[in-house]
A and B are shown apart, each in its own frame.
Chain A
C-alpha cells in the first residue's frame, strides 16, 4: 500500500516588529510560488507522470494521495498543470484521495469546532476539484490518538492512518489493519516506518549499508515482510525533491511496480481497499503520536518553549479571530496554524533530527522563525481587537 502526501505551506515573508500595524501582508506569495514552481519542475511533474505511466503499464498497480488546501491554492497559481495531472490520475479509478485539514494545521489541538470546520473545507475542496468523497482521514503529520479516532467516527470516516510505532503496538506487527479501540468502525492503517524511511530518508545516503537501494532489492524486502499489508507512507516530494533526480529516485519509483509483480503473493491496494480487510485487533492510543522525529510525538511542533509559547499565542488569537467573523482575519489565522511554522522553531542543538528540521526550514534559525511568527500573530491580534472595537492595551 503506497500513500504519498502533497503539501506546501504558506511561508511567511519577513514581517518585522516595525511592520506591526502597517497592513503589510504576512505571507510572501511570490517566494512561495517560486518555491512551488521549482518543486513542480523537480518532483511533482516528473513523479506524477511516472506514476501515471506505471498505472498504464501495470493494471494491478494502485496507490493513494492526499493534498492539502494550501498545496492546491499554490498549485492553482504556480502550476495548474499539476492539478490537471492529479485529476487525470484520479480518473483512472485506481487512486484514492484522503481527507485531512485544509491548512495542514494543528487544528486538532485547538478547541472545537476548528478541526471539523477545516476538515469540512478540505472535503468541499476535494468534491469541487476532483468529485472525490474520501472515506479515510489522515491528520496533520500523521497525528493519531483515541480522541482523533472518535472524531473520525463522528465525521463518518471509515479509516485513519497512523504510525506503526512499537510503543503502541506492544509487540503486535504493524503489517495488519487494526481498528480504533474507542471507535471500532474506524479502521487503522499503519505506516511501516522502517521500509517507508528506507526510501524516504535513506535512499540517497551513501553511508547506508544497503546503499544503493534498487527496486528489485526493495521488492524482495517487501516480499519477505510477514503480514497482510505494508504501509509505505511518505512525502510525495521524496521523489525528485528530498532525493534529487540524479540519485535515481524517479527510476526507482518507475521500476517498483514491475519488480513487485515478480513476487506473486504481493499486490497493491489503495487505502479504501485496505480498510475492507477485517481488523486484527482493536488498538488503543491514549496520547497523540505522529510520524516525526525519534519520539513520534508532537515534540517536533510543540516540544520547546518557543513552540509552546507561539502556539499559546495562536490559541488566544484564535478565539478573537473567530469572534470577528472576518474571513480575511480568520484565513490569516488558519494559515498561521499550519504545522510547518512550528516545525521551523525546533531547537535541539545536536542530534539527528536537527538536520531534518533545518532542511525543511526557510529560516536561518528557530529564533528567526519564532520572532517572525510572533510579529505576525501580534499584528493579527491587533487587527482582531480593532475589528471588535476593543482598545489595544500595550
Chain B
C-alpha cells in the first residue's frame, strides 16, 4: 500500500506539492565539513528537494566551503564582510560553558538569522536541531511563515542526562514553537513527547537513509575486521565495544578490532584497550575520509553500533548498505527500521555483543546471508522517499499556519 502511494507521488511534479516551494533552511554544518548525521541529512534533503523542483536557501554559521548543490543558495553571517566570518569552534563538544566564546558565537548566529535581510519570498522555515532555533522562530514570525523543526538528537541524550540548560532551553523553545516537528526515529519522537511536552499530533518520524554508492567489491580477508565508525563520545558506548572485544579475542586469533573516529573519549579508550590486554588487537584510526571509510567497510566482517544513546545511527545503515553484517544497540533509531536484518542487542550487554560478534566471525553462511539481506533492507528506501515525506510535513505546516500551499 505504502509502496503504491510512493510510486504515485514520484511521478507528480514537485513530488506532490502544488507548486515549487522555496525553503529557508536554518542549518548548522554542511558537507564537506561535517561531523555527524545532521550534515548528511541536510545535504541529501537539499539535493532531493531541488531535484523535485524546489529551491532551498541554506543558512549556516560557518563560512564554508559548502559542497555545491544546484538550486541551493548558501548564506552565512560572514557574507557581508566579504567572507571574513567570526571564528566558530568546529563543534560544540569542543567544550564551553554558557558564557564561553562558543555560546557567544551561537548568539551571533541567531541574531544574524533573525535579522536576515532578504528579498526572496519563502514558503517555510526549516530549522535543524537547537543551534538556530531562537533566530528561526523570530525569522518565521517576522516573515509570517510556518516553522518546521527536525530534531536529530536531544541535549538529554548527548549529555547522557546532564543537559546544559541554555541548550535545553533552545531545544524546548524550538520544539514548542514549531508548527510541525520531525524526529529521526520513533524512540526520539516519544522522547520529544515525554520530555519536551511536544504535542503528539505535530511530531512525525522521518528516518535517515543512505545513498547507494559506487560500492567497492566486498573482500573477505584472512584477518577479520570488526569495525566501529563514529564519534568517540560517551553516548556512543565504545567501552562496550572494547569490553566485548576482550571476550572475543581468546577464541579468534586472527581478528582485529578497528575504531575509526575521533572525539573526547579517544585517549581514555586507548587506555581502556591497553588495560583490557587487547592493545595489540585494537586499532584506532582517528578520523577517516569518506573514501577510507568505504574501503574499511568493504573489508570488514562485522560492523558494531554499541551506542548507549543513538537517535538514529546512520553509520550502521551505511555498513548495511555496504553488505557488512551489522550489530546495533536496541536503543538506536536504526534498530527500529532494521528488525530482522541486524542483530539487536541491549547496549549494556557486553556478553551478548561478544557472542554476536563471535557468531558472525565463526559462521560464514550467517555472515554472507545477513550481509546480503542487510544491503537489501538498507537500500529499499532512500533519500527520495525521505524528501517526499518531508515535503508532506512542509505542506501540513503551511496549511496549519494558514499559508496557501
Contact = CB atoms under 8 A, between A and B. Distances in A.
Q: For B339, B352, B355, which residue has the most chain A Cβ atoms within 10 angstroms?
A: B355
Interface string B318-359: 000000000000000000000111011000000110111011
B344 A16 contact: no
A360 interface: no
Contacts of B247: 18
Is chain A's binding surface mostly helix, strand, loop or mixed? Answer: helix
B368 interface: yes
A178 to B, nearest CB: 39
Given A16-B351, A304-B369, A349-B373, A375 B359 contact: yes
Interface in A171-191: none
B339 A364 contact: yes
Contacts of B362: 17, 374, 378
A19 B247 CA distance: 12
B370 interface: yes
Contacts of A374: 359, 362-363, 366
A365 B359 contact: no
Interface string A338-351: 00000000010100
A106 B312 CA distance: 42
Contact of B355 (A16, A309, A349, A378): A16
Contact of A306 (B354, B360, B369): B369
A375 B369 CA distance: 17
Contact of A367 (B355, B358, B366, B376): B366
A64 to B, nearest CB: 37
A365 B373 CA distance: 11
Given A370-B363, A371-B356, A305 B369 contact: yes
B118 interface: no
A347 B369 contact: yes
Interface string A369-383: 011001100100000
Interface in B69-103: none
B370 A367 contact: yes
B352 A16 contact: yes
Nearest to A375: B359
A84 interface: no
Interface string A269-288: 00000000000000000000
A367 B369 contact: yes
B340 A371 contact: no
Nearest to A354: B340
Contacts of A19: 355
B369 A371 contact: no
Contacts of B117: none
Contacts of A17: 251, 354-356, 358-359, 362
Is chain B's binding surface mostly helix, strand, loop or mixed? Answer: helix
Interface string A287-319: 000000000000000001110010000000000
Given A347-B373, A367-B366, A375-B359, A18 B343 contact: no
A305 B363 contact: no
B354 A18 contact: yes
Nearest to B368: A305
B354 A367 contact: no
A57 interface: no
A364 B340 contact: yes
B365 interface: yes
B360 to A, nearest CB: 8
A155 interface: no
B369 A365 contact: no
A28 interface: no
A370 B343 CA distance: 12
A368 interface: yes
Contacts of A304: 369
Nearest to B349: A16
Interface string B371-387: 00100100000000000
Contact of B365 (A16, A309, A375, A394): A309
B240 to A, nearest CB: 14
Contacts of A367: 341, 343, 366, 369-370
Contacts of B343: 367-368, 371
A366 B340 CA distance: 7
Contacts of B344: 364
A394 B369 CA distance: 24
A306 to B, nearest CB: 6
Contacts of B360: 371
B298 to A, nearest CB: 21
A371 B339 contact: no
Given A306-B369, A367-B370, A370-B366, A18 B376 contact: no
Nearest to B367: A367
Interface in B241-258: 247, 251
A365 B366 contact: no
A365 B365 contact: no
Interface in B207-258: 247, 251
Given A305-B368, A371-B363, A371-B366, A365 B341 contact: yes
Nearest to B351: A18
A349 B360 CA distance: 20
B363 to A, nearest CB: 5
Given A16-B355, A374-B366, 15 more contacts: A17-B356, A305-B365, A305-B368, A306-B365, A306-B366, A309-B365, A365-B339, A366-B340, A370-B365, A371-B343, A371-B356, A371-B363, A374-B359, A374-B362, A394-B251
5 smallest beta-carbon distances between A and B, as pairs: A16-B355, A17-B358, A371-B359, A17-B355, A309-B365
24 contacts: A16-B351, A16-B355, A17-B356, A18-B355, A18-B358, A19-B355, A304-B369, A305-B365, A349-B376, A365-B341, A366-B369, A367-B341, A367-B366, A367-B370, A368-B343, A370-B365, A371-B356, A371-B359, A371-B360, A371-B363, A374-B359, A374-B366, A375-B359, A394-B251
Interface of A: 16-19, 304-306, 309, 347, 349, 364-368, 370-371, 374-375, 378, 394
Interface of B: 247, 251, 339-341, 343-344, 351-352, 354-356, 358-360, 362-363, 365-366, 368-370, 373, 376
